[in-house]
Structures are given as C-alpha cells and as structure tokens.
C-alpha cells in the first residue's frame, strides 16, 4: 500500500483489464520457437502482428467466454508490454525506455475461426474470449524482461512453459517494428506471443471447456486467473 492509499481486499474487488480501453492492442503470433515447431510453421521473416479489440478482453478473475459456435477454444499464455509514452520510429537499443510496465495476458483463440483465412482476426476477437491482468508491474521492477519465465495452467496442470528469451523477435525488436508502421501511445498493449504447449498442438487436441480455469503465471509480473464459462451462461455487462 502506498502512503496515503487505501488497502483493499483483492477477493472483494472486481478486476478490469489492466488497460480497459487502449488505443491499440497489438498481438504477435508464432513468436516462440517451440510453438513454431509444434504448429509446423516456418520461422517468420517479420513479426506476425494482428489486433485484438478491447471488448475481447476481461480482467483477472472474470469469466472468459467459450463461444457457442465452436468447440475449439484454446489457451495461449503471454507476456504483455504496456507502452508508457508516445513513440514512433524507436530504435531497438532505446526501445525499453518507452515501456510503462508489464502484465500477464491470456490470448484465448477460437482455432477453427482463426483458420478461416490467413488473417487471424475473427478467431482472436470473440467477445470476452481473452484476459489481461491482474495488475501492471512497472518497468523499473523488470530491467531485463528476457529473463522472465511463463507458465500456463489449466485446472492446475502445467500446459505451457517457456522463457521470454525464446522469442524469435524480442521485445525491443517488436517495439522497433510496431513503432515504424504506427505511432505507439501511452496505454497501448503489445502481447508478445505464446510458448509451446497449446491445446491445438496436442494429440488429441485439448480444448477449454465450461468450468475449466486457466492461469497464466509469470513470476515477478503476476498470476492471471480466468474461469471458463459457456457463452450462454455469461451475462453481458
């Protein structure tokens, strides 16, 4: 608790996404080497960037929706970067200076809809299908994000485990690339990619079901918990 602040019981509050209405949510696909191998893809020559809409995300502890039109609802734990200042044409050697902080991200993916075309957008933007949180850890607390480790649990079982150092395009490279084609502004979110172990790559595939719980744990950043509910069981706020 900061001096002069108010201490609240985390169990008694409702979490919103860390950034409730960012100007941009830029997500990076096929960016961890183990995930590239398990999906049978080639290492891309440039970052694979797609967008999520703010309405596709919920906060920590809030239910994520399993869409009624698909059985292929998958989990993808990620580290998200939150931009702290206006930035354009940022060189990689100064890219970490424009970061406000970091948080956990669950990029819920509707795989059959994601595969309708080469563009990922439909499968990544179902209402309340992903999550971010629980809080923002400021950049001064994490001087070198490449040392972070990420683990995704489903119902307490480890499904994904990886290190940020396994990224094909590291965080400075992503900021350099994204700030070249668009101006980054405070509150923009860059989700950096997911490690190997996703449900779609397993034999047989493992899809999220009503009643499951997904947790994304990044020591030093937080542990994001997302219960899964069928779309018909979730009341739209």
List pLDDT tens digits, range 90-140.
999 999 999 999 999 999 999 999 999 988 999 999 999 999 999 999 999
The strand pair at 25-29 and 189-191 is best described as: parallel
Number of residues assigned to the chain? 237
List pLDDT tens digits, range 147-160.
999 999 999 999 99
Which residue has 């119902």 as its token pair? Answer: 155
Both tokens assigned to 228: 């899964």
Tell me, what's the pLDDT at 1? 46
* Cβ contacts of 21 within 8 Å, gap of 6 or more: 54
All structural domains of the chain, each given as residue ranges with its CATH number in brackets, are: 18-231 (3.90.850.10)
Name the E strands within 155-212.
157-163, 189-191
Nearest to residue 193, comparing CAs of 61, 62, 85, 41?
41
Q: How far apart are CA 208 and CA 197, in angstroms?
A: 13
Tell me, what's the pLDDT at 3? 61
């Amino acid at each position: 608790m900061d001096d002069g602040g108010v201490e609240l019981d985390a169990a008694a509050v409702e979490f919103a996404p860390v950034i409730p209405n960012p100007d941009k949510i830029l997500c990076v696909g096929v960016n961890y080497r183990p995930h590239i191998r398990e999906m049978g893809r080639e290492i891309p020559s440039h970052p694979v960037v797609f967008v999520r809409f703010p309405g596709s995300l919920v906060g920590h502890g809030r239910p994520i929706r399993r869409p009624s039109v698909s059985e292929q609802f998958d989990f993808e734990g990620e580290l998200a970067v939150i931009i702290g200042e206006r930035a354009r044409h940022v060189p990689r050697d100064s890219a970490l200076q424009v970061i406000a902080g970091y948080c956990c991200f669950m990029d819920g993916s509707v795989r059959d809809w994601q595969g309708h075309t080469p563009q990922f957008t439909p499968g990544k933007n179902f209402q309340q299908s992903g999550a971010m949180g629980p809080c923002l850890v400021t950049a001064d607390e994490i001087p070198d994000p490449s040392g972070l480790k990420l683990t995704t649990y489903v119902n307490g079982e480890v499904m994904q485990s990886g290190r940020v150092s396994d990224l094909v395009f590291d965080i400075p490279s992503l900021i350099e690339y994204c700030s070249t084609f668009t101006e980054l502004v405070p509150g923009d979110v860059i989700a950096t990619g997911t490690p190997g172990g996703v449900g779609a790559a397993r034999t047989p595939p493992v899809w999220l079901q009503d009643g499951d719980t997904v947790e994304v744990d990044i020591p030093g950043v937080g542990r994001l918990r997302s219960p899964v509910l069928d779309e018909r069981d979730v009341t739209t706020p």
